[in-house]
């Protein structure tokens, strides 16, 4: 009996102490926007957190598209919305020692806490509207087959040009003027390596590149050296 009475006394003292601390209620709403036409269509798991050093509160999304936090004491809080389909701007809310809301501002991740953003409207009504950043997209759309994209491939273009040249050159040679064609064939015959390979009289496998570059004949002859002036006894004759 004495232990039960002691617990009752402690609970009463704690309740009285909590009641004496000024607190307030914070309500955040999600309005319709181009990113969210119908806020009620958000996933059921959508919830908001109100956190500061040593305090962490969670509020689910209600049927009225609001997040309600009760018994919020003095401090500077971060409001963050956790949603699987959309992203929301984080908000900073300051509550005074008297339990009154000082203001609400958008904040930026990775920056100093004193770096405040735009003021969040709703101070007069006691309802702060959260801004939607955009819709989350976790999937990439698989590209569809397109003939135009296939034709833009450089390898396909090179193969097409080569095919046109391969198919068009014989037709072009057949339609040439006979005199011009005979002149081209004559040039091919006397055109060195290409002429020898085109004429078929010489086996390309037996062609001596070193002899050709040195100026020797294809039969393996050597260049004759020019004899200089003959000197006899130091006197030129």
pLDDT of 15 over the 70 cut:
no
Comparing 115-119, 120-124, 224-228, the range with the smallest average pLDDT is 224-228
| Close Cβ partners of 122 (under 8 Å, ≥ 6 residues apart) | 29, 104, 128, 129
Confidence band for 62, pLDDT divided at 50, 70 and 90: very high
- The predicted pLDDT at position 221 comes to 45
Give domain 20-135's CATH number out of 2.40.50, 2.60.120, 2.60.40, 2.40.10.
2.60.40
CA dihedral 118, 43, 57, 78 (to 10 degrees): -20
Classify strands 75-82 and 24-29 as parallel, antiparallel or unpaired. unpaired
Which tens digit of pLDDT belongs to each residue from 92-104?
999 998 888 888 9
Percent residues over pLDDT 90 in the chain: 24
- Check residues 112 and 217 and name the one with the higher pLDDT: 112
Which tens digit of pLDDT belongs to each residue from 169-181?
888 777 778 888 7
Shortest CA distance to 88 belongs to which of 96, 98, 80, 99? 80
pTM exceeds 0.85 for this model: no
Q: Domain boundaries in the chain?
A: 20-135, 147-214
- The predicted pLDDT at position 148 comes to 82
- Check residues 133 and 210 and name the one with the higher pLDDT: 133
Confidence band for 219, pLDDT divided at 50, 70 and 90: very low
pLDDT of 215 over the 80 cut:
no
- Check residues 114 and 232 and name the one with the higher pLDDT: 114
Measured CA to CA, the distance from residue 185 to residue 101 in angstroms comes to: 98
Q: Which of 118-122, 140-144, 145-149 has the highest mean pLDDT?
A: 118-122
Shortest CA distance to 129 belongs to which of 96, 99, 88, 100? 88
Shortest CA distance to 120 belongs to which of 10, 5, 29? 29
């Amino acid at each position: 009996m004495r232990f039960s009475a002691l617990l009752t006394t402690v609970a009463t003292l704690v309740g009285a102490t909590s009641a004496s601390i000024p607190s307030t209620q914070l309500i955040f709403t999600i309005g319709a926007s181009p990113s969210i036409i119908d806020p009620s269509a958000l996933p059921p798991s959508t919830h908001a957190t109100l956190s500061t050093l040593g305090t962490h509160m969670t509020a689910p999304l209600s049927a009225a598209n609001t997040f309600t936090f009760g018994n919020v004491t003095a401090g500077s809080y971060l409001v963050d919305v956790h949603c699987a389909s959309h992203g929301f701007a984080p908000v900073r809310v300051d509550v005074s020692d008297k339990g009154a809301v000082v203001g609400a501002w958008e904040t930026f991740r990775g920056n100093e806490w004193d770096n405040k953003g735009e003021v969040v409207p709703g101070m007069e009504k006691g309802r702060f509207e959260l801004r939607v950043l955009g819709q989350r997209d976790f999937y990439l759309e698989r590209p569809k087959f397109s003939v135009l994209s296939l034709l833009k491939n450089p390898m396909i273009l090179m193969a097409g040009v080569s095919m046109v040249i391969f198919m068009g050159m014989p037709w072009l040679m057949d339609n040439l003027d006979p005199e011009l064609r005979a002149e081209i064939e004559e040039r091919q015959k006397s055109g060195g390596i290409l002429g020898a390979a085109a004429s078929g009289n010489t086996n390309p496998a037996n062609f001596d590149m070193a002899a050709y570059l040195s100026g020797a004949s294809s039969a393996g002859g050597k260049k004759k050296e020019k004899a200089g002036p003959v000197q006899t006894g130091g006197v030129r004759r």
